[in-house]
Amino acid sequence: MASALPSGDMGAAEANSGNGGQMQKKPFTFNEIVLRNRLTALVVDGDNFCRLLEQGILQAYGLETQSVNNGDAAVELIASGAKFDLILIDMLLPILDGVEATRRIRAMGMRCKMLGVTACSGERERQAFLAAGVDVFVEKPLGPEILIPVLRELDGQV
């Protein structure tokens, strides 16, 4: 993916030379995974910015996405028959929170991969979200180290 900005490579190299080489991680690119199958995702986040960003990231990986801004809308969408391979759901949501929305989505028989992507970081929140039915609890931001293995699994590349 071409970029008009200084490349991640240059940034990493520059950072290495600037701080004694502490940033040793491989520069990230969206080409690290190429999907063979059509995958769909639902993003559930009450914050416009986070919703847009997460959709953008998933689309960059090649997924088709939809988004809603509250838990009730997510449950309604699933109840209407919509199917997704992946759901990203925040914990604190308007109208119906992410924990209860997850519980209801699972209760409707939806077995897709669900990632609880939230700014909450406590162990109690983590346990509650996992108990409700998310497969992975992710403290924002959602990074490639979490997402790429999930996408590989969904795409049958594992």
3-state helix, strand, coil in the chain (%, to 5): 45, 15, 40
φ/ψ bin of 16: left (φ > 0), alpha (ψ from -120 to 50), beta (otherwise) = alpha
Among 87, 90, 116, 155, contact with another protein (rule: CB under 8 A) = 90
* Number of chain positions touching another protein (CB under 8 A): 43
Pick from 63, 52, 4: nearest CA to 30:
63
Binding mask 57-86 vs another protein (x if CB under 8 A, - otherwise)? x--x--------------------------
In angstroms, what is the minimal distance from the CB of 17 to another protein? Answer: 8
Pick from 25, 32, 20: nearest CA to 8:
25
Pick from 71, 62, 60, 128: nearest CA to 96:
71
Site residues for another protein, 126-145, by CB under 8 A, read: 139-144
Site residues for another protein, 16-55, by CB under 8 A, read: 18-19, 23, 25, 27-30, 45-50, 52-54
Segment interacting with another protein, rule: CB under 8 A, options 10-18, 33-41, 106-114, 149-157: 10-18
DSSP string over 112-151:
SEEEEEES---HHHHHHHHHHT-SEEEESS--HHHHHHHH
Q: Does 4 bind another protein (CB under 8 A)?
A: yes
- Which positions touch another protein (CB under 8 A)? 1-6, 8, 10-11, 14-15, 18-19, 23, 25, 27-30, 45-50, 52-54, 56-57, 60, 90, 92, 118-121, 139-144
